[in-house]
Chain A
């Protein structure tokens, strides 16, 4: 009996020492969020899917059975078979290979456009939110002007004005989406700048630049991460739309958008030709969206009731 009691106290002591040594099992904000994310099966599945898609894009030359621009006139519009799993297009190019290479375009455009949008959006949003007053009014009016145009027509206008090309596509899509980021960051910064730790930081001798970059933006990081993840599928869709309309990625470079565009003539004859790039877009966009939603829930547990 007495032995048992001692064992209990020893256990207690061990436990206390363990806490002293390792803390209460806290792993910081992002550690906690990751734990929550891991519990969300659907989001984790989509994360795997996204990793897979990105790997496919990176290792396209290894994975693709053919050169995506190689034209085989002996197999024009071939039906699916062992040599060409999804068939070939009107120039005899392997559709599977073109889809694999197309992922490079879609993923890179999605990511780069979002990086551009975030850089512009976070900077302008933080400046507007922090300074308020006249600075805020000017930046807010600019944002309103950008939002006053229909998105697709705005992107088409920029592309026709600047000319076709991948770089211009990055810029056009970045310009299209920065407003949303800027608005969110502006709101967050306005709220955060009233916090006491910002005042404490100022009392510590921090300059405005220091406060914005080291005090405010790190506190907005989870918002930025979610915005980027949910913005990428948007950019992919816009790229596809623009390429479909013929002002995005130019053939022979394969992109999912321009493949669908080329396939529409043959839709009844070779349905797989237009369906497969569509499926690729759909899977990528859905995966990004579900993963982004999961990420938002994980980073902001208050949202989940």
Chain B
């Protein structure tokens, strides 16, 4: 295990809604090592984005509430920082790339004005210095005619180009941690590959750590060293990338894997899907959150929540790998 840059311990982020208390992130622990990439996988609504927003301190309070836990970043607990201290960390030490490049840029400012925003906020550069650095960043993310693009408006750029701009914005202060919240979801496949390659390249070059949030296991295969699979606000499997792809242990991870179409497989077979939906917080089952959709569920799964336990060199939240599994019968 290398040096940890970020360590999240027992993070709990709750939302108070009219329908009751929603435990969006429920006791989640993980860590990101220096210069490594952690992939967080899960379906929509499983708490991945809220985890990243909690780290950035961008959860709206109220209705949100950080109910417990610690977020240790470079030895300090981010949850204990004031809003002012956090705004100095955001953009400078931890940067974030959002899902929608189409709407993540302010339409009334030029690309250049937005890239230099973080530079002006954090490094107090003069306009001409910031301009130089901004153009340099645009070149780094491989935008052709960087000098010209610098003075253009977001609507003049394509989606892939805008996502490159977002990356340039995020990386211009050399952050120690880059959080990518589904950076390729809104892009088409060829552009996706280019963007991922770019993120990987820049990671090598600048030595930042990356937290890659996605629902696409293909993306994980491309970039992640470690993988955390989330389901309904909880970690269900936490392993290295190789382990996950070699042998997914949790039935949910297994389900996600078999949803990927295989080009070399038997093309007469139907693509398998995971039946059902992520349960919403007000209809959360008593036992394991995944059991209503789990093909292997037994009685014990319906009665209580399994613990995240070590099994075969990784962590899995499933009774299948515990003593109790053998003791209980199938109905």
Interface residues of A (CB under 8 A from B): 20, 23-24, 26, 28-29, 195-207, 210, 214-215, 218-219, 221
Contact = CB atoms under 8 A, between A and B. Distances in A.
Contacts of B121: 204-206, 210
Given A26-B156, A29-B153, A199-B58, A204 B104 contact: no
Interface in B172-216: none
Nearest to B99: A196
10 contacts: A196-B98, A199-B98, A201-B106, A202-B90, A203-B91, A204-B117, A204-B121, A204-B169, A218-B106, A218-B108
B46 interface: no
A205 B87 contact: yes
Nearest to A215: B106
A28 B108 CA distance: 8
Contacts of A197: 103-107
Nearest to A24: B156
B4 interface: no
Contacts of A198: 106
Contacts of A200: 96, 98, 104-105, 166, 169
B23 interface: no
Nearest to A20: B145
Residue in A204, A206, A210 with the greatest tally of chain B CB atoms within 10 Å: A204
B70 interface: no
Chain A to chain B: the 3 pairs with minimum beta-carbon distance, closest first: A205-B91, A204-B91, A205-B90
B7 interface: no
B87 A207 contact: yes
B298 interface: no
Contacts of A210: 121
B198 to A, nearest CB: 18
A28 B106 contact: no
A196 B104 contact: yes
Given A197-B103, A206-B121, A23 B166 contact: no
Interface of B: 56, 58, 84, 87-92, 95-96, 98-100, 103-109, 117-118, 121-122, 145, 148, 152-153, 155-156, 166, 169
Contacts of B87: 202, 205-207
Nearest to B52: A203
Given A23-B156, A203-B95, 7 more contacts: A26-B152, A197-B107, A200-B169, A201-B117, A203-B91, A203-B96, A205-B89
A198 B118 CA distance: 13
B58 A221 contact: no
Contacts of A23: 148, 152, 156
Contact of A202 (B58, B152, B156): B58
A203 B56 contact: yes
Contacts of A20: 145
A195 B105 CA distance: 9
A214 B117 CA distance: 10
Nearest to B62: A133
Contacts of B106: 197-198, 201, 215, 218-219
B109 to A, nearest CB: 7
Nearest to A222: B108
A31 B118 CA distance: 27
A90 B136 CA distance: 74
B109 A218 contact: yes
Contact of B117 (A26, A29, A206, A218): A206
Nearest to B149: A23
B103 A196 contact: yes
Contacts of B109: 218
A79 B107 CA distance: 60
